[in-house]
A and B are shown apart, each in its own frame.
Chain A
Amino acid sequence: MMNHQVTKAPSSGKLSLLLGVLLSWWLILGASAAPPREVIANALVAEDVAEQAKLVGSLAGQADPLIPQLLAKWKESEIYIYEPTEPAGPKVAVLFVGEKDADDKFAAVRVDTGEPLKDKDGKPMRLTTDEATSADTDANLRLAMKVVLDLIAVADPDPAKRLKVVQQMGLDQDLEKLPALEVRVAGEPDAKVQRALKEAIALLQLKSEDPAKQIAAAKTLATLGSIPAQDALKTVAREGSPPVAAAANAALAEIAKHLQLVNTYGTVFRGLSLGSVLLVIAIGLAITFGLMGVINMAHGELIAVGAYTTYMVQNVFGPGLALSPFGMKLHLPGFGATGAAYDAYFIAALPLSFLMAALVGLVLERGIIQFLYRRPLESLLATWGVSLVMQQLLRLTFGANNVQVDSPAWLSGNWTFFDVIFGWNRVFVIGFAIAIIVGTHLLLTKTHLGLLIRAVMQNRQMAACMGVPTERVNMLTFAFGSGLAGLAGAFLSQLGNVGPGMGQDHIVGAFMTVVVGGVGSIFGTVISALGIGVVDQSFQQILGNPVLGKILVLGGIILFLQWKPAGLFVTKSRSLEG
């Protein structure tokens, strides 16, 4: 490779010939011991994808700390390929270092030597990102990189990384790696990695020639309840000798039992998290509809307001946002934050979505709903109209397409205990729901405003006689319920679509939850949300069919309301007094 490049380079006379010969010698002698950074540099400029993967693969087994650094940079397209034009020369892989200067130029460092890139006069060069193309990768190349990085990572100080590597090695079932794993198992301090090592060793031993070892391995896998081992065990059960196959089948039965338990716990967790999502969506409605008796069809759009606020906050933290509401050109400048600072946008977005939705709710209450407190049908029609207007406003401001909301890194990951996935976003929503419920409960029972709210909801005339400013209490209560809808929107942006029509997707679920729980009872809403969540997930798990599961849940709710039309918890409230 290198030899080829040198002879292609413009050269004159003997000197270059000598150089060429010397280099080829050096290549032949030292090819196997070529420093990793040179191998990577060669791979970077190689034309053929397969050649790239081969070169990277040749690094396997080396532990140079430079390797992970350079490969990580390559993966993120932070390495650039520069093709000198005057004089034309072979491609060079370079890294950009330092800050860019006034001309948008960076100092360039050669990947193969680690020294600055020099021009024909030997002066260090500075380049813009446009003068070089960034090196990219494909899946095969990344796989080759992974193999190299794996071997380095087995000895990685970070247990999480070790764990991943060990698991992958087990799945690969490459018997040659067995000694390396057995060496590690003795000295491994981390319990999880220890378990993974045992699993991996057993998986490798399934491939062994010795039936006794295979049977022992199958037994180990059974006691470990190893889900990944199922495929390998099935193969052994099919192809192994009768005693081995019997052991494999026994192990499979054991794992199936374990799996059933995992799925049961998993279903409960998923049900609770789905219930929490429903609860977060419905809690605002439980106040405006449940306590105040306003049938607010625009509740979904208040959720959308919260979601779009999150979108705006995200863009203000990031690159800024250009909007064109009603043909006006509006530009929100951005901080251009990255990494953890950018991820913090969600923290800022939560209170802002609450405030924004509360504000919209306030305007809605003052503008329309205050005139309709005793006329539920008209308030239904009027708020439905409002919801259409708000959807169109969102469409005109943000466009008809859905918008992208990124999940912060700390919401996009998971803990896995006992093979059950606890997604951070799901754990967060459960915590979030608890916080909202506790907050709402405290507000209603422990504060002065809460006392007034309860008084007005129970008997408006009486409260007014006692000097309670019912108008103001109504206004604040409605704004509070709307704000909770906004919070729900902020959270939903982490789970699903943010678009002008998103409110419509959630309004039915919200009303359903409140009605099943019993209009007017916050506690009922909590129970009904969690109940619907767990039942829905259980049906999905048992039937293996989300469509059928949904239908059954809805059918069940219809029957339930036939039996108990007022919901789970019947509360006396104004709306029922008529």
Chain B
Amino acid sequence: MKLRKFVALTSLAAAGLILPATASAADTVKVGVLHSLSGTMAISETSLRDVLLFTFDEINAKGGVMGKKIEPVVVDGASNWPLFAEKAKQLLEQDKCAVVFGCWTSVSRKSVLPVFEKNNGLLFYPVQYEGEEESQNVFYTAEAVNQQATPAVDYYLNAGKKKFYLLGSDYVYPQTTNLVLLEYLLSKGVPIENIGGGFKKDESGKIISAGKYTPFGHTDYQQIVSEIKQFAAGGKACVISTLNGDTNVPFFKEYAASGLTAETCPVVSFSISEDEFRGLPAKQLVGQLGCWTYFQSIKSKANTKFITDFKAWLKKSDVTGIVKDGRVTCSPMVLSYDGVYLWKAAVEKAKSFEVDAVRKELQGGLSFDGPGGKVTTQKNMHLTKNVYIGETKADGQFKILKTFDGVVGEPWLKGKFKAK
């Protein structure tokens, strides 16, 4: 008796839920936006929400996707990784979103991954990451390690650098990236004593961690900087930094005070984009390097249009609490933007919003001329794109020094490079 009543109730409730959805489904398609709009990551991730909403408006103004207007469902992951999974579940099971754009940190991605795989959802992930992952339910517009770290090393080797100091924040992305870099440097004939920062080995003598790591919120870089200074005393040295946002300030202040400069020992940072630069001491950073698949300073029609349109959209936007002044564009934003257009192209080619059909088209190789140049989707759910090395300027922009065209995204790099 009780059971029957329960079933009846739930089916009623289900019908109630589904009915309005089907009614509105005729002219709109629901698209999820899953970023932290509060908590520590909000500073970075809010920009991605903004650019996604801008992209949806841009597409809707031109008639939407297959004649359907995009209806964004914005949820807040609140920099809380388990919450990310719950919100992902809500977007997929309750809102039935055709696709979700979101996540910044690797741990948030790892947290939502099982949800997407269970529900056969589709997530577009836009931020540089460590690789070693290839899910059929995630499309990685993000920079893989070989689209950021190894090109930077190539640039340094070309500039005659012989010694490399690895430094990073203590979490999965820097740890994995530095292990890959270690293999890469060895494969390029750099002797192991020329790689600084220290190594940790397991019982069998295999290196399990390369480089120097500091915790989040570390403030005292005296010892590390003095170590780098001794390391660089013999010349031809450089630093590869995967330090996270905030900790860059004490690091670079100490670095400048110790007399190390971009000319004697340059630092390439993988986590400082135009957006992070706004809170950093510009004077101390000038001349140091960055490496991304997009810089705001790229001179192209597509980029100029993207920047002016985005700023115009910001001006008249009525999203609560949106920051309108002093905004910049950066790589994760552009990769989010590219992702939406690639999804649109895939849907229109597949003539369906079904994830399986869309994935098939994505894996078939679609191209889009984005603000950072042409991007092409690959079978392994990654992107082929251009990689740029830039030098930071006092105004918070990058002067582009070198461009690597059409670098293929390769997630599986551990063990790929063999030492000579």
Interface set of A (CB-CB < 8 Å, partner B): 136, 138-140, 142-143, 146, 168, 171-172, 227-232, 234, 259, 266-267, 270, 273-274, 277, 399-407, 411-414, 416, 419, 421, 423-426, 494-497, 499, 505, 536-537, 540-541, 544-547, 550
Closest residue of chain A to B248 (Cβ to Cβ) is A497
User: Does A274 contact B279, Cβ atoms closer than 8 Å?
Assistant: no
How many angstroms between the C-alpha atoms of A406 and B285 in the bound complex? Answer: 11
Give the residues from 167 to 207 in chain B that come closer than 8 angstroms, CB to CB, to chain A.
Answer: 170, 193, 198
User: Does A259 contact B222, Cβ atoms closer than 8 Å?
Assistant: no
Q: Which of B27-35, B129-137, B210-218, B362-370 contacts the other chain? A: B210-218
User: Does A171 contact B234, Cβ atoms closer than 8 Å?
Assistant: yes
Q: Kindly name the residue among A424, A425, A495, A496 whose own CB sees the greatest number of chain B CB atoms within 10 A.
A: A496
Closest residue of chain A to B277 (Cβ to Cβ) is A404
**CB contact between A274 and one of B220, B258, B263 (< 8 Å): that residue:** B220
Q: Closest approach, in angstroms, between the C-beta of B156 and any C-beta of chain A?
A: 11
Given A412-B257, A550-B215 in contact, is the A139-B391 Cβ separation under 8 Å?
yes
**CB contact between B279 and one of A230, A234, A403, A536 (< 8 Å): that residue:** A403
Q: Closest approach, in angstroms, between the C-beta of A274 and any C-beta of chain B?
A: 6
> Which residues of B sit under 8 angstroms from A495, Cβ to Cβ?
219, 250, 253-254
> Which residues of B sit under 8 angstroms from A274, Cβ to Cβ?
220, 222
Give the residues from 222 to 247 in chain B that come closer than 8 angstroms, CB to CB, to chain A.
Answer: 222-226, 229-230, 233-236, 246
User: Does B253 contact A494, Cβ atoms closer than 8 Å?
Assistant: yes
> Which residues of B sit under 8 angstroms from A404, Cβ to Cβ?
278-282
**Could you list 16 further interchain pairs (A-B, Cβ under 8 angstroms) beyond the known A273-B222, A546-B212, A546-B215?**
A139-B266, A140-B159, A142-B263, A401-B278, A406-B283, A407-B256, A407-B257, A407-B283, A412-B253, A413-B257, A423-B257, A505-B217, A536-B220, A545-B198, A545-B212, A546-B214
Q: Is residue B415 within 8 Å, beta carbon to beta carbon, of the partner chain?
A: no
Closest residue of chain A to B283 (Cβ to Cβ) is A406
Q: Closest approach, in angstroms, between the C-beta of A230 and any C-beta of chain B?
A: 6
**CB contact between A406 and one of B223, B235, B281 (< 8 Å): that residue:** B281
Q: Hey, what's the 0/1 contact readout for B378-419 against A, CB within 8 Å counting as 1?
A: 000000000000010000000101000000000000000000
How many angstroms between the C-alpha atoms of A171 and B258 in the bound complex? Answer: 19
> Which residues of B sit under 8 angstroms from A270, Cβ to Cβ?
222-223, 226
> Which residues of B sit under 8 angstroms from A277, Cβ to Cβ?
220
Give the residues from 265 to 293 in chain B that come closer than 8 angstroms, CB to CB, to chain A.
Answer: 266, 278-284, 287
Q: Is residue B98 within 8 Å, beta carbon to beta carbon, of the partner chain?
A: no
> Which residues of A sit under 8 angstroms from B391, Cβ to Cβ?
138-139
Q: Is residue B323 within 8 Å, beta carbon to beta carbon, of the partner chain?
A: yes
Q: Is residue B42 within 8 Å, beta carbon to beta carbon, of the partner chain?
A: yes
Given A414-B258, A421-B259 in contact, is the A407-B214 Cβ separation under 8 Å?
no
User: Does B198 contact A412, Cβ atoms closer than 8 Å?
Assistant: no
Q: Closest approach, in angstroms, between the C-beta of B240 and any C-beta of chain A?
A: 16
User: Does A414 contact B259, Cβ atoms closer than 8 Å?
Assistant: yes
User: Does B222 contact A497, Cβ atoms closer than 8 Å?
Assistant: no
User: Does A497 contact B257, Cβ atoms closer than 8 Å?
Assistant: no
Q: Is residue B43 within 8 Å, beta carbon to beta carbon, of the partner chain?
A: yes
Closest residue of chain A to B256 (Cβ to Cβ) is A412
Q: Closest approach, in angstroms, between the C-beta of B375 and any C-beta of chain A?
A: 26
User: Does B279 contact A138, Cβ atoms closer than 8 Å?
Assistant: no
User: Does A230 contact B198, Cβ atoms closer than 8 Å?
Assistant: no
**CB contact between A547 and one of B159, B213, B250 (< 8 Å): that residue:** B213
> Which residues of A sit under 8 angstroms from B280, Cβ to Cβ?
402, 404
User: Does A400 contact B43, Cβ atoms closer than 8 Å?
Assistant: yes
User: Does B234 contact A230, Cβ atoms closer than 8 Å?
Assistant: yes
> Which residues of B sit under 8 angstroms from A547, Cβ to Cβ?
170, 213-215
Q: Kindly name the residue among A138, A497, A550 whose own CB sees the greatest number of chain B CB atoms within 10 A.
A: A497
Q: Kindly name the residue among A146, A266, A546, A550 whose own CB sees the greatest number of chain B CB atoms within 10 A.
A: A546
> Which residues of B sit under 8 angstroms from A402, Cβ to Cβ?
246, 249, 279-280
Q: Is residue B262 within 8 Å, beta carbon to beta carbon, of the partner chain?
A: yes
How many angstroms between the C-alpha atoms of A308 and B208 in the bound complex? Answer: 42
Given A407-B257, A547-B215 in contact, is the A540-B223 Cβ separation under 8 Å?
yes
Can you report 11 residue pairs joining A to B where beta carbons are below 8 Å apart? A400-B43, A401-B43, A402-B279, A404-B282, A407-B283, A414-B257, A421-B258, A505-B219, A537-B222, A547-B214, A550-B215
**CB contact between B257 and one of A259, A401, A425, A545 (< 8 Å): that residue:** A425
User: Does B226 contact A266, Cβ atoms closer than 8 Å?
Assistant: yes
User: Does A139 contact B235, Cβ atoms closer than 8 Å?
Assistant: no
Closest residue of chain A to B281 (Cβ to Cβ) is A404
How many angstroms between the C-alpha atoms of A423 and B250 in the bound complex? Answer: 13
How many angstroms between the C-alpha atoms of A425 and B256 in the bound complex? Answer: 11
